Structure 1
Amino acid sequence: MTIEPSTIALVITTFDDPGAADEFSARLLDDGLIACVNRVGPVTSSYHWQGKVCRDEEYQLHMKTSLERVSDLKAAIERLHPYDCPEVLILQAGSSQSYSQWVKQCVQTTP
């Protein structure tokens, strides 16, 4: 299998409620911003927040999109996410050519 240079992105965010994570995922899929999402968890997150160290159970969303749609996806996360400061990690990802083409096809915008 040949790995294509980076043409897609893996975007990660977290939720404290699995139902909310699923609803959020469905909205992004319906809006054509992501081709695929994996809900992982629960995971234990430890972090600094408002002068304290917190430890909570969360659910990670691993979302796949094209590099062209990353800005739109980031804006949607910032607009729709219930957290005051949502995690938005954006990683460029190489992939097989067929997977990359599938992702691009799923999230392409119409001219």
Structure 2
Amino acid sequence: MAFSKAKQTERNFQVALCTAPDSDTAESLAEKMVKQKLAACVNIIPAITSVYEWQGDIEKEPEVLMVIKTDEELMGQLEELLEQEHPYEVFELISCNIDQAATAYLQWLNGAL
């Protein structure tokens, strides 16, 4: 199995993170992302706790985390989908470049998006 630098591909793949209030919401959003080809895959990690400041108060809330594999060029469309569908007034959407990955996985990502 080979490990490749992702920059050797023509695309700039991303791992994006987005929280949701519960698994049902995350699954619904993930299905829409994949169906619309905005994500190749979304992993849903249940039972996280988020601690943050909101309107002057420290909040502590249970959430689920979506780990979204996508392309940099799709981030704007992904944000638009979340603006329409996400229940939060301010939702999290952050991303990092995939600098290296298994060659076969990069090929799969390229074909899935």
Q: Same fold by TM (over 0.5)? A: yes
Q: Measure the CA separation in 2 of the matches of 1:22 and 1:99.
A: 22
Q: Measure the CA separation in 1 of the matches of 2:104 and 2:72.
A: 16
Distance 1:104 1:69, change over 3 A: farther
- In structure 2, the partner of 1:101 is 107
Q: When the two structures are aligned, how many residues end up with a matched partner?
A: 107
Alignment of 1:1-111 (within 5 A): 1-6=2-7, 7-94=12-99, 95-107=101-113
Amino acid at match of 2:41: C
Q: Measure the CA separation in 1 of the matches of 2:104 and 2:36.
A: 22
- TM-score, scaled relative to structure 1: 0.87
Q: Which runs of 5+ in 2 are unaligned?
A: none
Q: Secondary structure at the match of 2:14?
A: strand
Q: Secondary structure at the match of 1:48?
A: strand
Deviation at 1:74, TM superposition (A): 2.3
Pairwise CA RMSD: 1.4
Contact 2:6 2:106 in 1 (8 A): no
Report the identity percentage.
25
Contact 1:65 1:104 in 2 (8 A): no
CA shift digits 1:85-108 (9 cap, x unpaired): 00011111121222122112211x
- TM-score, scaled relative to structure 2: 0.86
Q: Which runs of 5+ in 1 are unaligned?
A: none
Q: Measure the CA separation in 2 of the matches of 1:58 and 1:18.
A: 8
Deviation at 1:71, TM superposition (A): 2.2
Q: Secondary structure at the match of 2:13?
A: strand
CA shift digits 1:5-30 (9 cap, x unpaired): 34310010001111111111111111
Q: Secondary structure at the match of 2:97?
A: strand
Q: Measure the CA separation in 2 of the matches of 1:101 and 1:8.
A: 11
